[in-house]
Chains A and B, each alone.
Chain A
Amino acid sequence: MRYISHLDLHRLFKRSLKKAGIAVDYSKGYNPHEMINVVQPLSLGFESVSEYFELETPMDLDKDEAAAELNAFLPEGIKFTASRKIPLQKKNLSAYSEYASYEIRIPDGRLLSAEKARAFLSRDKVTVIKKDKKTKQPVEKDVKNMIKSFEPAEGAEGEEAVIHCLLRCATNENLNPLSLAESFASFCGLSPEKGSVRVTRLEIYGLKEGALVPLLELYPGE
């Protein structure tokens, strides 16, 4: 399900909850809204095999039954794969997200290699083109410290190049894998066609005792 936006996904979950008869708490304020949250929402057009959704409910739910109810309504391609009861926290789960891993596929990868990747990363600055939030003008930004790893996957041969990477994905700092892929491709002298680079998020990580672990592991299941 690559083509629905964050807002649409949000609406879909709200609707699925209503359909499943799961009540959610509302925020207190002038315009009360449902206490539900999609963690670090993906850009339109990205795929993912591991996303997180949290909700606050006044009900005493059987979490697995609830997940099954929701799955019965959700369209093909969106499915709850695990569920946890977590303590009520001051901040939502997005605040615990630190890094995310991605798989990037570039259709014409003949010029890409592990060696090129090392050269790409060993420069003083690794820049991507970003749109300035205020002026909407494209600006260069150094993202070197937001890259934990960036490597063409082992055995990636043939035409398509597959890159695995671990990038910063936190509320205050986020590196878009597509911008990085484009920057790398152009470093290698490639200019892939618009829409031809495919991105799949593999996992979102949080910090536990100083180590990066999948968000789910912050809350050991019963």
Chain B
Amino acid sequence: MNNTEVLRRLETILPLVEKPARYIGGEPNCVIRDPGPGTFRFAFCFPDSYEIGMSYLGMQILYNVLNNTEDCCCERAFAPEKDMEEEMRKAGLPLFTLETKTPLSQTDMVGFTLQYELSYTNILLMLDLAGIPLNSRDRSESDPLIVCGGPCAFNAEPLADFFDVVMTGDGELQIRELVRLAQRRKREGQTKEWFLRKAADIRGVYVPSFYEPLYDENGRYCGMKKLWDGAPDRVLKAIIDDIETAEFPETNIVPLIEVVHDRSVVEIMRGCSRGCRFCQAGMLYRPVRQRTPDRICELARKQLESSGNSELSLLSLSTSDHSEFEELVLKLMDYCQKKQISLSLPSLRLDNFAFKVMDEMQRIRKTGLTFAPEAGTQRLRDVINKNISEEEIFTALNKAIDLGWTSVKLYFMMGLPTETDEDLDGIADLADRIMKLAIYKNGGSRGRFSVSVSVANFVPKPFTPFQWVPQDTEKEFERKHYYLADKFRKLKGVTYHYHGSFTSRLEAIFARGGRELCETLRRAYSYGCTFDAWTEHFSREGWERALKETGIDDSCAALRGFEPGSPLPWEIIDCGVTESFLLREYEKAQKAVTTKDCRYGCNGCGLNRYTECRWGDIYE
């Protein structure tokens, strides 16, 4: 089907669907090129709605990199909502790229970003709607290559049947190298096998079809068998030594409809030195790398000027940890005030400087104050190595209330290793004492003050010190939720939110599961499961049926955990951090012993075997 026909069919269904602008493209700053016959065509796919995908910075980074690669043109596709899916099927309209309305099946490479487990069925949805065979082995030489990257690519085993190539680590250089190789294949008329063998040499690239997972008589993963001798024993993630010089977009695509985050974003740091033991990003994005304040300001200015955005946000895992944070913020504040741009600083540590900044920035409206203690007692916070004390929280609160803040949000997890009911009591207790402080400071009445407590279910992730631990059962999660809900019922002005435990269980299964889950996923999709992260679309029946039929239950390793030292389904990937470091951290966790921030001295995670840790040790 050609582009004109796609457009014609699209025109007939657009009036019938909600928010049709999701499907039309043509936004300011998007790159629409007339691809010549030699142009390599990349379709960047975000397996969720347009509104979510367009708020994701990684896509804008790679879109820019790919469109600045010689003879390459990158276009976008998102998962169509259910109403659009239905109309597309009725009209026989295959999934197409927004820029030139080209069917995905006619591109050269289709790349998915794996951001969260609950988006996996949407990958199948998008391939299916594109008319591309789901399984790598069923695709012909002329089908596009299907590739992926992103944090979940570090354990892509549950998707291994579907992808030709999995990319781990920093994507900027790696994706270009992969595209150049694919261009060469096209030019020289080489086979897919030729391409895959060469691709396996690119740093961070994992080719699932070169390996076969082995299972013991109990169905537990017990090792990887290489199917081609030339394949690497382990795949080390790609690492960019310095992000100061890494390509970063100076313009970004401006959505025509409202999306989740409608603003310019500059990544100021990659990596985090704090070493929270539950946090996968903290391990995967090592080492800490940062951009200089000058470079950040330059990028911010260019982004704002080219987009007309009126909000700027900074991206990092821990904003205040930038080594020149104060200088950076003062510079940006100055610029933003002159240009009437609002500056938002997420994940700010609440010290004196932060209050000065916030007071300055939010003179008119004070938004809520957010803390993420993650656990209710100091003991458990030591277990997870979350470096925040009650004293810090209360010092910050005292100041915040004086400055007129009236709402506090608290984020916790439940089901953490070694957790007891006492730790849950700590959650309610903290909220209670915060409310009491507010009442006391307000002269005995609550006034407009509110506390919101959000408790997420802990999902153990690969490549963290908790990669071996079991997840709480659904029953145990439910019991804890009722236990907490009961405590919160007695607290006036405090609202309590929690997450569904069935979806947390699914996340755990897909986070730590192996290749056996490809079949589970195929079945779930065939039973109508898509948009699993959306409560209104989530089909528990479909998932239960798929899990049951493929023999995935509470006894599976992804839920029950692993013995340290035993084979792990994701062990083919080397994230740079050693297993012995993770194990050491796990053992310290069990004794509630903390580990210092690695800027105060190296903790020996092993990453510096591959690159220089410039911001490690700086305060030693």
Contacts and interface: CB of A to CB of B under 8 A. Distances in A.
Please indicate whether A and B come from the same complex rather than being unrelated chains.
Answer: yes
Given A8-B257, A75-B27, A194-B15, A3 B309 contact: no
Contacts of B21: 3-5, 8
B20 interface: yes
B26 A18 contact: no
Interface residues of A, number: 25
Contacts of A73: 28, 308
B136 interface: no
Contacts of A8: 21, 256-258
Contact of B306 (A4, A19, A195): A19
A3 B15 CA distance: 8
Given A3-B24, A7-B258, A15 B16 contact: no
Nearest to B24: A3
A196 B15 contact: yes
A138 interface: no
Which of A8, A20, A194 has the largest number of chain B CB atoms within 10 A? A8
Contacts of B12: 195
A195 B10 CA distance: 12
Contact of A18 (B27, B257, B308): B308
A11 interface: yes
A143 interface: no
Contacts of B14: 2-3, 195
B254 interface: yes
B305 interface: yes
Contact of A76 (B26, B306, B307): B26
Given A4-B256, A18-B309, A75 B15 contact: no
B93 to A, nearest CB: 15
A21 to B, nearest CB: 9
B452 interface: no
A129 interface: no
Interface in B1-54: 12-16, 20-21, 24, 26-28
Nearest to B14: A3
A2 B306 CA distance: 24
B28 A75 contact: yes
A20 B305 CA distance: 8
A194 B309 contact: no
Interface residues of B, number: 22
A15 B15 contact: no
Contacts of A3: 14, 20-21, 24
Interface of B is mostly: loop
B310 interface: yes
Contacts of A77: 26
A74 interface: yes
A11 B258 contact: yes
Interface in B246-275: 254, 256-258, 262
Given A3-B20, A18-B310, A194-B16, A75 B256 contact: yes
Contacts of B307: 15, 19
A16 interface: yes
Contacts of B256: 4, 8, 12, 75
B310 A15 contact: yes
A93 interface: no
Contacts of B257: 4-5, 8
Given A73-B308, A194-B15, A195-B15, A15 B258 contact: no
Contacts of A76: 26
Interface string B183-218: 000000000000000000000000000000000000
Interface string A1-34: 0111101100110111111100000000000000
Interface in A22-60: 44-45
Contacts of A18: 308-310
Interface string A200-222: 00000000000000000000000
A34 to B, nearest CB: 10
Interface string A54-76: 00000000000000000001111
B16 A195 contact: yes
B309 A15 contact: yes
A14 B340 CA distance: 12
B27 A17 contact: no
Contacts of A14: 308, 310
A45 B16 CA distance: 10
Given A3-B21, A5-B21, 14 more contacts: A3-B14, A4-B256, A8-B21, A11-B262, A14-B310, A15-B307, A15-B310, A17-B308, A20-B308, A45-B20, A74-B28, A77-B26, A195-B16, A196-B15
29 contacts: A2-B14, A2-B20, A3-B14, A3-B20, A3-B24, A4-B256, A5-B257, A8-B258, A11-B258, A11-B262, A12-B256, A14-B308, A14-B310, A15-B307, A16-B308, A18-B308, A18-B309, A19-B305, A19-B307, A20-B308, A44-B20, A45-B15, A73-B308, A74-B28, A75-B28, A195-B14, A195-B15, A195-B16, A196-B15
Q: 10 nearest interchain CB pairs?
A: A195-B15, A19-B308, A15-B308, A18-B308, A3-B20, A3-B21, A195-B16, A4-B256, A75-B26, A4-B21
